[in-house]
Amino acid sequence: MSVKVYKITGHYKKGKQRIKFSKFVRALNPQDALENIYAIMGSKHHVKRTEIVLTEDSIREVTDPNEITDQYVHTFTTDDNLKIPKKA
């Protein structure tokens, strides 16, 4: 199995606001990517799994590396040298 990049889009509610999100994650399969999103959203934004709403085509495998906007995911996907870029 090889590691693939997935783009996951959806939204969650915070108070009366509906906040949209789009994340790129590296995972072996779509189920692992979804678990990774639940972990990220829970730890960084304190959102419970039940509050995350995913759209119909929310999990999609990314085949074009130029489409990846997350700097860290892009670096780990394209670079063989694997130098970790400094966060701005």
Torsion sign, CA atoms 24, 35, 31, 19? negative
List the domain boundaries for the chain: 4-78
Q: Which fold has domain 4-78?
A: Ubiquitin-like (UB roll) (3.10.20)
Q: Which residues contact 6 (CB under 8 A, 6 or more apart)?
A: 24, 25, 26, 27, 30, 33, 59, 60, 61, 62
Break the chain down into helix, strand, coil percent, rounded to 5. 35, 40, 30
> pTM for the complete prediction?
0.81
pLDDT higher than 80, residue 86: no
- The model's pLDDT over 26-78, given as tens digits with 9 standing for 90+, comes to 999 999 999 999 999 999 999 999 999 997 789 999 988 889 988 888 878 87
Backbone dihedral angles phi then psi of residue 41, each to the nearest 5 degrees: -65, -35
